Amino acid sequence: YTDVTDHLAEYATLKAMGYRDVFFYGVVMQESLILSCMGYIPGFIVSFLLYILIANATSLPVWMTVERASLVFTLTVLMCTLSGAIAMRRIQQADPADIF
């Protein structure tokens, strides 16, 4: 959402050139999927290492399961997609004449 807001003038320029909302929807959804994967991977690595550290420090049976990792990934993608859909409304309502 923040990236769309920061680049609203560029999106308005493309809109003035004749690009349709379907093009913007594709761009925003691709960006949201890329950002969700790029955010999940380092977060997974850090949390996996923390699980190992906690298990060694406390001797508790704590580990990262596939189900838990899959749930977090699914929720991350869903959250980013929802944010992209909200940002898409802002692009649809943008009038190129008002932006400049």
Encoded tokens for 43 = 């977060």
Per-residue confidence band for 49, with pLDDT thresholds at 50, 70 and 90: very high
pLDDT of residue 3: 86
Query: Which structural domain range is residue 74 located in?
Result: 2-99
pLDDT (average), residues 46-62: 94
Q: What is the CA radius of gyration of the chain?
A: 19
Share of the chain above pLDDT 90, in %: 63
Task: State pTM to two decimals.
Answer: 0.80
Q: 63-91 pLDDT, tens per residue?
A: 999 999 999 999 999 999 999 999 898 88
CA 11 to chain centroid: 18
Domain count, the chain: 1
Other beta carbons within 10 angstroms of residue 5's beta carbon come to 11
Of the listed ranges 5-9, 27-31, 34-38, 82-86, the one predicted with least confidence: 5-9
